[in-house]
């Protein structure tokens, strides 16, 4: 079974631009979570989507948004990029039922650099 | 609110020595607890997780962790370190498996 895939793997943008990152979950998984990883703040939860609905949300400004499609693929968008948005963005998928047997599997991440 | 604290941002051990990475959690409800490993330029790989079935949890690559409610701890151990264990390790807590809060990470160095 294929793992979680994220595209693109690397991205360079300039301040003020917007960016869209994509995540394809493991087949059969309905939950997709997004995390931001920076040296200063570590790993922070952005949001989680389940069956096309945002189910949980972290403490990030409204410039960060996401969506999930009917095939469970998810995209996250960051508008009006700031230098501090430079980070590794990780996507994780799981079945999504929240039971003890449910496990999140992470993709390799998208490295975003904002110049 | 849930949170985890990892004690020690860097840990260095000799090859063959015991590995001990410390994690303390805070949660208002019975938590799910996790240990993940991250190698350079890669995503996170699950080592093990606690879901209340057993307090001693065995994971991949001979890692294990013990849930101690009285100490609110979930320390990760491995009896004998290998060079390939050098990586960054993250402890995480969740109450539903899908919204995880991570610790700051511990970088493990293994000396030959």
Confidence of residue B102 (pLDDT cuts 50, 70, 90): very high
Nearest to B37 by CA among A74, A43, A10: A43
Tell me if chain B has a CB within 8 Å of the CB of A107.
yes
Token pair 């047997």: residue = A101
Beta bridge mates, B46: B36
pLDDT in tens, B5-16: 999 999 999 999
Q: Which residue has the higher pLDDT, A58 or B22?
A: B22
Q: Write out the two tokens for A89.
A: 């963005």
Interface contact flag, A102 B103, Cβ < 8 Å: no
Nearest to A46 by CA among A29, A68, A64, A25: A64
Interface contact flag, B46 A105, Cβ < 8 Å: yes
Confidence of residue A100 (pLDDT cuts 50, 70, 90): low
- What is the residue-averaged pLDDT of chain A? 93
Residues of chain B contacting A102 with CB distance shorter than 8 Å: 97-98
Tell me if chain A has a CB within 8 Å of the CB of B46.
yes
DSSP state of B17: S
Confidence of residue B98 (pLDDT cuts 50, 70, 90): low
Beta-strand relationship, A42-50 and A87-94: unpaired
Closest CB to B100: pick one of A45, A108, A109.
Answer: A45
Out of A6-20, A21-35, A89-103, B16-30, pick the least confident.
A89-103
Tell me if chain B has a CB within 8 Å of the CB of A21.
no
């Amino acid at each position: 079974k294929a793992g979680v895939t994220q595209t693109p793997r690397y991205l360079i943008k300039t301040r003020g631009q917007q960016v869209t990152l994509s995540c394809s979950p493991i087949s059969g998984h309905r939950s997709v979570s997004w995390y931001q990883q920076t040296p200063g703040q570590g790993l922070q939860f952005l949001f989680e989507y389940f069956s096309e609905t945002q189910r949980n949300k972290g403490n990030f400004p409204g410039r960060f948004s996401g969506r999930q499609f009917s095939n469970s693929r998810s995209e996250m968008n960051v508008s009006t990029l700031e230098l501090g948005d430079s980070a590794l963005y990780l996507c994780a998928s799981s079945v999504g039922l929240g039971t003890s047997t449910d496990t999140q599997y992470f993709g390799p991440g998208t490295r975003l650099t904002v110049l | 609110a849930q949170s985890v604290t990892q004690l020690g941002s860097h840990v260095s051990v000799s090859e063959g020595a015991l590995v001990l990475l410390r994690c303390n959690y805070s949660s208002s409800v019975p938590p799910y607890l996790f240990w993940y490993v991250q190698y350079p330029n890669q995503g996170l790989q699950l080592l093990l997780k606690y879901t209340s079935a057993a307090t001693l949890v065995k994971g991949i690559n001979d890692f294990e962790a013990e849930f101690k409610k009285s100490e609110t701890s979930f320390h990760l151990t491995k009896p004998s370190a290998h060079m390939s264990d050098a990586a960054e390790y993250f402890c995480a807590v969740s109450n539903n498996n899908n919204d995880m809060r991570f610790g700051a990470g511990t970088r493990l160095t293994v000396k030959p």
